[in-house]
């Protein structure tokens, strides 16, 4: 048996879900990264969509680079997810009226 009221538990779960979704959206929005040796050896680095040579890539290991924009707007997904969570919490936390007719 829990001594924490249901409303408090629901509010805590909503805050935790929003924090997790915000953290995931923040990593997806990141626009820069560092070139690693592994990236060069696997051929994942390109310039303007064209692959560069492994030797040229290895010269740039450790440098910060801008990542390509994929065209996918993460903020829309984050906003929709937040709206769904808020709606679910509003439905769950609304006052319940008892039928006293009888």
For range 37-55, the mean pLDDT: 86
Q: Does the residue 26 lie in any domain?
A: no
Lowest mean pLDDT among 9-13, 24-28, 32-36: 24-28
pTM for this one? 0.39
Alpha carbons 39 and 3: distance in angstroms, whole number: 52
pLDDT at 56 over 80: yes
Alpha carbons 17 and 21: distance in angstroms, whole number: 6
**98: buried, middle or exposed (CB in 10 Å: 19+, 13-18, 0-12)?**
exposed
For range 3-28, the mean pLDDT: 75
Residue 71 has what pLDDT? 64
For residue 47, give the H/E element and its range. strand 46-47
State the average pLDDT for the chain. Answer: 77
Q: Does the residue 2 lie in any domain?
A: no
Choice between 7 and 80, residue whose per-residue pLDDT is larger = 80
The range of the structural domain enclosing residue 79 comes to: 31-93
66 DSSP β-pair partners: 32
Q: Does the residue 53 lie in any domain?
A: yes
Q: Does the residue 15 lie in any domain?
A: no
Residue 18 has what pLDDT? 76
Q: Does the residue 49 lie in any domain?
A: yes
Alpha carbons 39 and 43: distance in angstroms, whole number: 6
What is the count of structural domains for the chain? 1
């Amino acid at each position: 048996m829990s001594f924490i009221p249901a409303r408090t538990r629901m509010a805590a779960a909503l805050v935790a879900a929003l924090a997790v979704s915000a953290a995931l959206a923040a990593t997806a929005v990141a626009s820069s990264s560092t070139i690693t040796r592994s990236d060069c050896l696997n051929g994942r680095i390109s310039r303007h969509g064209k692959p560069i040579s492994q030797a040229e890539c290895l010269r740039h290991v450790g440098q910060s680079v801008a990542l390509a924009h994929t065209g996918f707007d993460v903020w829309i997904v984050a906003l929709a997810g937040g709206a769904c969570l808020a709606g679910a919490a509003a439905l769950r936390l609304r006052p319940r009226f008892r039928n006293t007719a009888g």
